[in-house]
Structure 1
């Protein structure tokens, strides 16, 4: 159930900067056409139409419907969704704004940054991955930070992760 109404949802989309104003205006016009000149009463309906048209992702919609409009960008990258969380970091599917290339961004939680050993390990991981060049190994493109948020930009490879394979198919026999 959405915590916001239709008008508030549209305001949050605008404030989030996820959608350029001209594209947002066009999408709102389409919503009005589909609903006989009125905006749909439910914010969820608008969100579904925006997802269907490719303006936002389900992850964006869930956050916006919950009343949140910040946290969709990291540096120059647009975050598209949460992929998973490991022992030391969280990974997000993201997109370069100009190249429109999907990338995976590994983010070190702010709580870990205060402990220098975690930041050192994170940077060591980035250097180790960047030193490898093989078609079967994910490439690291960049390491950066925005304030206390440190992140590694990596090649995105579509598919199931190892944890899901083991959960679904059981332990691998070697």
Structure 2
């Protein structure tokens, strides 16, 4: 029996994803051949499910992946020559490509065909393109083109050579405070640009920050971005948590309708925290447990983990990650001012850290400060001793009086 191409592809994917072992794959193939010898044609994936090696859900995902692998859009996007795959995720595959008209390298994000049938995914894909196209900033990956060809939905963007912040963190790097400040400052300026144009990113995280060899940081992936004024979209998403659990803001977890730019400030704060401590702000065995901690648990101050951090840096991170958004920076402009002060070695203006600087500000202006005075009371530690002495004297006088009376 000649192996079926679809079965071969599915088996290869199952082995690559370690969903089955080599022995299990061989046993499933042997079972398929046995059935074929009796005149029964049975798909290999179904046999793996029957033998208990795969679940139906796993098989469904494998078949979707197999379909996408077997239908690469290599020459089906006009004007672009796809060269190699450089990344993939749940929502898209990203290729390095050449834009033929301008003879330049670009990145092309392609929506998998299995998701092309889902109107919500397609709309989210195009909303990313629209959001990116509305922005033009040195620290934001620039949109170039968006469209559909031969059933493939694609989004063309600036190609950035470099590493993500996540790549460095995954290798165990803890960023130096000043290095982290420079990267976070660039992201804060990128977000300022987006927010002032009514765009909220909603998924700021280390994987979405690319550092070019020249040190320029680029904010990528506008996949969850939407206009702050888009009430219809906000209502449609009400009650659903959109974002990445380790960096998501409390209001996103609650699925609130009126999400605003301060959600991005929280997520950037979570990224900043991870960069300078080497740890995510909250850990847990499941996404829901991590999100619960974002809602309920106090944040461990970052300078308690990395004692080399300045108090000012820790204060800025804590203000960015305040659970109530009214206690965060009101906008990225104030955040940028504090980051610039940190970069110069100065204390932040807006963030406070375990000390109310307003007292010192008032003193510097010559204002008198009321002082609470505590009443001083006499100490009474010796009272029991004096009582004992007094009783002793009384007893002695009583004995002496009895002796005198007896003598008389």
Tell me the TM-score normalised to structure 1 length. 0.56
Shift of residue 163 of structure 1? 3.2
Shift of residue 119 of structure 1? 0.2
Alpha-carbon distance in structure 1 between the residues aligned to 2:109 and 2:73:
15
Does the residue aligned with 1:79 lie in a helix, a strand or coil?
strand
Spell out the pairing of 1:11-160 with structure 2 (5 A cutoff): 71-73=73-75, 74-160=77-163
Alpha-carbon distance in structure 2 between the residues aligned to 1:111 and 1:87:
11
Q: 1:87 to 1:165 in 2, by over 3 A?
A: farther
Shift of residue 71 of structure 1? 4.4
1:25-76, CA deviations, whole angstroms, 9 ceiling, x for partnerless residues? xxxxxxxxxxxxxxxxxxxxxxxxxxxxxxxxxxxxxxxxxxx9x7432222
Alpha-carbon distance in structure 2 between the residues aligned to 1:146 and 1:162:
33
After superposing on structure 2, the runs of 4+ consecutive aligned residues of structure 1 that deviate more than 3 Å are: none
Alpha-carbon distance in structure 2 between the residues aligned to 1:149 and 1:162:
30
Alpha-carbon distance in structure 1 between the residues aligned to 2:144 and 2:164:
20
Q: Which structure 1 segments of 5+ residues have no match?
A: 1-67
Partner of 2:341 in structure 1? none
Alpha-carbon distance in structure 1 between the residues aligned to 2:108 and 2:165:
18
Alpha-carbon distance in structure 1 between the residues aligned to 2:88 and 2:108:
11
Q: 1:75 to 1:163 in 2, by over 3 A?
A: farther
Q: Which structure 2 segments of 5+ residues have no match?
A: 1-69, 174-273, 277-316, 318-408
Aligned 8 A contact 2:82 2:96 in 1 = yes
Does the residue aligned with 1:172 lie in a helix, a strand or coil?
helix
Aligned 8 A contact 2:73 2:152 in 1 = no
Which of 266, 275, 279 lines up with 1:172 in the alignment?
275
Residue 266 (structure 2) pairs with residue 163 (structure 1): no
Larger radius of gyration: 2
Alpha-carbon distance in structure 2 between the residues aligned to 1:71 and 1:126:
19
Aligned 8 A contact 2:146 2:154 in 1 = yes
Considering only aligned residues, what root-mean-square deviation do their CA atoms show, in Å?
1.9
Tell me the TM-score normalised to structure 2 length. 0.25
Bigger share in helix: 2
Alpha-carbon distance in structure 1 between the residues aligned to 2:91 and 2:100:
27
1:152-174, CA deviations, whole angstroms, 9 ceiling, x for partnerless residues? 00000110134322212444126
Greater RCO, 1 or 2 (C-alpha within 8 Å, sep 6+): 1
Does the residue aligned with 1:138 lie in a helix, a strand or coil?
coil
Alpha-carbon distance in structure 1 between the residues aligned to 2:74 and 2:126:
23
Q: 1:71 to 1:118 in 2, by over 3 A?
A: closer
Which segment drifts farther, 162-171 or 85-94? 162-171
Bigger share in strand: 1
* Matched residue count: 106
